[in-house]
Structure 1
């Protein structure tokens, strides 16, 4: 009896053969591409069952999908007993409904994950990148497969990043390329992991990587990722914070979006005394009156972490006023920083005496 389990098992049997020489398999079959080739191989068990046991075949198809494309698929399979991959490609290009049905089948039967399971890293990369490139010819379809590929790429990338821990911060140029790409990954977990890896780097990161790290710390949509990047910037501050880099961070303190203002204050706090530029301290004081509570809290904490360069009468006065803030987090941040800066101010007076 033909059912979904048998369908998947027959697909697995073929994909084990496919994994031996995937590129050669596609060429020998005369397929115009990997996508139509895998689509044909996904459909082959159903096509055979449709002639041997049509009732079971149609019932099994209906358990996966019973949309308009499924009806079209059955009619096309009855009309063409042995379609080629080229026939499949033409049909996919001609019908969005058929694309949706074939995609559902490939997702439900796990065609791509099964194919990748038996491939080594090099061949797996070839398969994923080839599918991604070919899908550009179907801009209106295959959304689920695109999402699946992004997920699979993310899993591979995080595993590759984990292996870099054994480098103990001594990264090759290839490692740095991987880290830079990971900083732009769709998964926040991957971006944060890449940022943390840079924090233990022995050498100075290249300028392009430094700028990307700054953008992650200042503009990433995920709070944990922003903090991971800001923390790494703090760890590397002697090596990466130039006058231009500090000016770039400072410019975000006056951004129209409070999200960027608070992110900039967080980064400056991680820099400590390296952020003690007079204009930075002045703008952080102005940020204590920001309409956004997160920005006020970040500014208050940053001033305390900057330390001696911020231990000025006007800063202490501004923090004293901020301790009256209605927001509890802002109040606590201002109180903590005020205590620190008063200590620095007293030490400065004692040293002068």
Structure 2
């Protein structure tokens, strides 16, 4: 990995409280860029990594999804955090916040409010490390936060979760609270989920905290409606992945020849999102020297979203030295937020 520090003069004085570091993948062969795309599209069935949803347009569309009436996870998790934030602050004390997949940082504001109110010295600083693959939305969100929180310092990291966890600097606060909200954990298959949680545990020192949001198992109609909204925003979000690949790898995917398809796989307890080819077709990604042939009806899986039981998550966290201290759930038991602490 290598680092490049961005320095973009801005007219706002709060930029002195903002630093943004870009984490760049360094490979011996430039052709390795997009190797995960090449690998996934050569599989049967074809797949694409969910990280390619999140160019700037994809991040904007996801923010729209979070406000849809069918999409319960965001508002349910937000309501839990609204109630739980003071208790989280009481349990974790003076902690630096580190968020994986910060996006708009809307839910993080609930914690920042609670931490601000708990500061004994009103001149003390709050430190927030925001991590996101979209540099555009990270910059926009940081500027809004700095306007609203005079004591806040934002240290942005543009890159993947893995890159960021491998390069977290020592905290300047008494402790650290690592946030992974939005049930993003559900996007990882079991083995990848285990590896990710091991990495989280390794990134934390004993006594530091991990706050995790997970979507829970519930009736199929509720789950499928959340990923097939009436306005078609989720479909646009899904199709935008192909637009992102076209732009990034000189591709010629015809978005009009694909349709969004999402369903609940009860056996695996996961929502699956696919892009389904409506006609026989071929597409090329020139930078990857790759041609993709699809039959009519053939799909490319773009995302899974696993649904959990709280007891299963608690046991999994325990296995990587993360001891759950408290679990909060909404009255309908649709969603859970778990606070765990790194054991020695």
TM-score by length of 2: 0.22
Q: Which has the larger radius of gyration?
A: 1
Which structure: greater helix fraction?
Answer: 1
Which structure: greater strand fraction?
Answer: 2
